[in-house]
């Protein structure tokens, strides 16, 4: 039976390292596919990606999927019922890429397209009977961006995070490297 665990946190909160540990625990010897959505846009981003790569176990398969994780996984043949563990890092990188790719698109259409893509990923996880850990930045605790593009990103990611949290079996928020489970809550157990 498949499951999705959403790991949220602020920038530099330790959410990726937490998600990697959680993925290794869930995998328990099964194959892990790391779905990387980040793209090198400058030297600082190249350094972030390098650090993430160095931290990953050598036996984890990495697929680069900045715009269409489901399509990339299907092309790689990940749909045969092998029940891998997927680690998508990160949802916010994916949303950012989609925002830039569809710059100028009406906000409501972009939201529908992006939320739809996230929901298709969640559906795909169930279809291949996989377990997935999804990493995303929590934008609800930050300042409102000063640029229109920044505000559009915050609004879009907040909506996508809510959709993914609704589809997820578990949600953990990471603060200062410490994970706190927020779903299921005590009343849901």
Active site residues: 52
Residues 6+ apart with CB under 8 A from 129: 1, 2, 81, 83
Alpha carbon distance 91, 166 (integer Å): 15
Give 180's contacts (C-beta < 8 A, 6+ positions apart): 172, 173, 174
Half-sphere exposure (Cβ direction) of 34: Cα atoms closer than 13 Å: 23
């Amino acid at each position: 039976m498949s499951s999705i665990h959403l790991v949220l946190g602020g920038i530099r909160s330790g959410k990726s390292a937490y998600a990697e540990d959680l993925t290794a625990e869930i995998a328990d010897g099964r194959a892990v596919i790391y779905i990387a959505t980040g793209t090198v846009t400058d030297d600082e981003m190249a350094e972030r990606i390098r650090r993430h790569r160095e931290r990953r176990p050598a036996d984890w398969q990495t697929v680069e999927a900045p715009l269409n994780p489901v399509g990339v996984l299907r092309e790689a043949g990940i749909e045969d019922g092998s029940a891998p563990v997927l680690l998508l890092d990160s949802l916010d990188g994916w949303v950012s890429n989609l925002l830039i790719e569809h710059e100028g698109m009406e906000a409501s259409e972009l939201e529908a397209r992006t939320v739809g893509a996230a929901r298709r990923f969640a559906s795909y996880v169930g279809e291949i009977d996989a377990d997935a850990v999804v990493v995303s930045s929590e934008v609800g605790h930050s300042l409102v961006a000063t640029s229109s593009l920044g505000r559009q990103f915050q609004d879009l990611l907040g909506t996508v995070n809510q959709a993914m949290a609704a589809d997820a079996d578990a949600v953990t928020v990471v603060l200062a490297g410490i994970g706190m489970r927020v779903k299921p809550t005590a009343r849901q157990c």
